[in-house]
């Protein structure tokens, strides 16, 4: 009986893994084939005439800042120098009523720059405490045609808003997401691994999701949407611990298309009083009547949590938010089998930690005592082991894509370290998954874990 049960569990786990590998592999292969076809066919980018400042949209950028007095200053110094007409820009800093330190830090900027404003969240707000509450309250008074979200610690590109305007106003996108890059890899092993993870996720995997028509989750910062979309959706999902992820799923579930094209500002010509930009735009791109959500070719630098505890708390919040989203779609299923498949795979990840732990343990056991297992089962085990190796290689590749150090030997050494230690990184991730499930299903806690930013790049 034990033998039969063991075989059944191995078949179940390995079949599930194989299906996930095929699901993700199809997205990656399809993305590469589409890019190869584009390179060998007609270019989708043509030059667009210069754009006058009067033709640019108004943009409101929301920055939820909770106890961020030590880092918000650098963000505002950089944001105040954005190459964008200041009469078409709002930077709205949202602080909690009891956070006098952050308001003191932003006060000089509000006094100096007319486009920097402040919103205070009252303690008796009707929204649950957390980032969605701050964003929803900040949205009320925002005047922009486009609404953006930044984090207090972000270090953004000077051309960020120009690229946003190009994608949304002149290329017809509804939502765009920038590339996030945690730059404090020298802060420790967790920071190194997170940079590699982000390198692959934002530079490759999201593009694969887009080109395959899969749901594309948004990041917590550097995303911009048409104001009309947020109005239609009633803002961000109050109480969800990952409002960005939930919004990406809501966009997909609303029968909206996900798209991605690179955007660049080819030349800047003129003074602040007479702004003109030479931009690019795509041609011959066909879309149905769906939202277009695309990646923005703009990198936002930030810092990952400085230690294991901060990383663990952050990941726990993210995974609990996914569980909250999962429970929402269990109660309100998407329409159609295809939508259900895509959405449920995207939101179920925190639930498979136990399966991963048990599955890897049993597969290692099967490879060590292989004589007692049937050959087809061993073959499936070896194939999934190859999948594990592939993910380790992908992690190393992500680190190489995110970095460009002059010391090539040091860079390659770090990439090798990333690949070899990826399975250990998974163990820590699964620990966060388990804690998130416990908090959601057993403790029923919705406490918002704040991510601390104290690294050298934030000063």
pLDDT recorded at residue 385: 81
- Please check the confidence at residue 68 and state whether its pLDDT lies above 60: yes
Q: In the chain, what is the straight-line distance between the N-terminal and C-terminal CA atoms, in Å?
A: 62
**C-alpha angle 173-169-402 in degrees, rounded to nearest 5:** 60
User: Could you tell me which residue, 453 or 399, shows the higher pLDDT?
Assistant: 399
Predicted confidence band of residue 264 (pLDDT cuts 50, 70, 90): very low
In DSSP terms, 117 is beta-bridged to: 92
pLDDT recorded at residue 176: 93
Mean pLDDT across 198-224: 89
Domain-embedded: residue 380: yes
pLDDT recorded at residue 3: 52
Mean pLDDT across 374-399: 84
pLDDT recorded at residue 125: 65
Q: Give the relative orientation of helices 375-402 and 2-40 as an angle to the nearest 10 degrees.
A: 40
Domain-embedded: residue 341: yes
Domain-embedded: residue 309: no
pLDDT recorded at residue 170: 87
Residue 381: domain span: 2-31+323-458
In whole angstroms, give the CA distance from residue 243 to residue 249.
Answer: 10
Domain-embedded: residue 318: no
pLDDT recorded at residue 50: 63
Domain-embedded: residue 148: no
Predicted confidence band of residue 222 (pLDDT cuts 50, 70, 90): very high
Domain-embedded: residue 289: no
In whole angstroms, give the CA distance from residue 381 to residue 364.
Answer: 9
Place of tokens 């048990």: 358
- Please check the confidence at residue 454 and state whether its pLDDT lies above 70: no
Percent of the chain with pLDDT over 90: 47
pLDDT recorded at residue 279: 43
Predicted confidence band of residue 455 (pLDDT cuts 50, 70, 90): low
| Total count of domains within the chain | 1
Predicted confidence band of residue 77 (pLDDT cuts 50, 70, 90): very high
User: Could you tell me which residue, 338 or 286, shows the higher pLDDT?
Assistant: 338
pLDDT in tens, 271-326: 444 444 444 434 333 334 568 888 898 999 999 987 899 999 999 999 999 999 99
- Of the given ranges (93-102, 136-145, 188-197, 340-349), which has the lowest mean pLDDT? 340-349
| CB < 8 Å & 24+ apart, contacts of 368-374 | 372/3, 373/7, 373/10, 374/7
Residues 6+ apart with CB under 8 A from 199: 181, 397, 398, 399, 400, 401, 402, 403
The count of residues in the chain is: 459
pLDDT recorded at residue 273: 42
Domain-embedded: residue 440: yes
User: Could you tell me which residue, 424 or 262, shows the higher pLDDT?
Assistant: 424
User: Could you tell me which residue, 45 or 410, shows the higher pLDDT?
Assistant: 410
pTM (two decimals): 0.85
pLDDT recorded at residue 45: 39
- Please check the confidence at residue 79 and state whether its pLDDT lies above 60: yes
pLDDT recorded at residue 37: 63
Cβ–Cβ < 8 Å for 314, 448: no
Mean of per-residue pLDDT scores for the chain: 83
Annotate 258-272 with b (16+ C-beta within 10 A) or e (fewer).
bbbbebebeeeeeee
Radius of gyration of the chain (CA): 23
Domain-embedded: residue 212: no
């Amino acid at each position: 009986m034990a033998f039969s049960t063991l075989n059944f569990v191995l078949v179940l786990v390995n079949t599930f893994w194989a299906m996930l590998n095929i699901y993700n592999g199809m997205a990656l292969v399809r993305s590469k084939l589409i890019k190869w076809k584009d390179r060998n066919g007609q270019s989708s980018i043509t030059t667009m005439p210069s754009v006058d400042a009067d033709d640019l949209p108004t943009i409101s950028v929301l920055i939820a800042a909770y106890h961020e007095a030590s880092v918000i200053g650098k963000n505002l110094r950089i944001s105040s120098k954005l190459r964008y007409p200041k009469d078409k820009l709002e930077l709205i800093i949202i602080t909690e009523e009891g956070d006098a330190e952050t308001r003191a830090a932003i006060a000089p900027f509000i006094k100096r720059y007319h486009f920097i404003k402040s919103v205070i969240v009252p303690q008796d707000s009707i929204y649950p405490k957390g980032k969605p509450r701050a964003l929803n309250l900040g949205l009320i008074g925002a005047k922009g045609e486009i609404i953006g979200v930044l984090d207090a610690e972000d270090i953004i590109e000077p051309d960020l808003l120009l690229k946003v305007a190009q994608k949304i106003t002149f290329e017809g996108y509804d939502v765009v997401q920038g590339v996030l890059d945690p730059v404090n890899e020298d802060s420790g092993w967790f920071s190194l691994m997170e940079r590699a993870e982000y390198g692959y996720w934002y530079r490759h995997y999201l593009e694969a999701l887009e080109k395959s028509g899969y749901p594309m989750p948004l990041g917590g910062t550097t995303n911009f949407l048409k104001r009309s979309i947020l109005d239609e959706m009633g803002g961000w999902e109050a109480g969800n611990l990952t409002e960005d992820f939930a919004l990406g799923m809501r966009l997909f579930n609303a029968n909206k298309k996900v798209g991605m094209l690179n955007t660049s500002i080819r030349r800047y010509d003129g003074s602040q009083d007479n702004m003109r930009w030479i931009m690019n735009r795509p041609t011959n791109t066909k879309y149905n009547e769906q939202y277009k959500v695309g990646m923005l070719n703009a990198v936002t630098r930030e810092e990952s949590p400085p230690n294991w505890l901060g990383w663990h708390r952050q990941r726990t919040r993210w995974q609990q938010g996914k569980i909250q989203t999962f429970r929402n779609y269990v109660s309100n299923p998407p329409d159609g089998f295809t939508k259900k498949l895509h959405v449920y795979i995207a939101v179920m990840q925190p639930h498979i930690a136990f399966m991963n732990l048990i599955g890897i343990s049993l597969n290692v056991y099967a490879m060590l005592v292989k004589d007692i297992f049937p050959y087809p089962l061993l073959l499936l085990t070896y194939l999934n082991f190859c999948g594990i190796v592939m993910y380790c290689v992908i992690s190393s590749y992500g680190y190489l894509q995110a970095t460009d150090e002059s010391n090539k030997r040091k860079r390659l050494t770090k990439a090798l370290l990333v690949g070899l230690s990826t399975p250990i990184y998974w163990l820590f991730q699964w620990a966060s998954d388990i804690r998130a499930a416990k908090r959601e299903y057993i403790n029923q806690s919705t406490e918002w874990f704040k991510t601390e930013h104290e690294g050298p790049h934030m000063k």
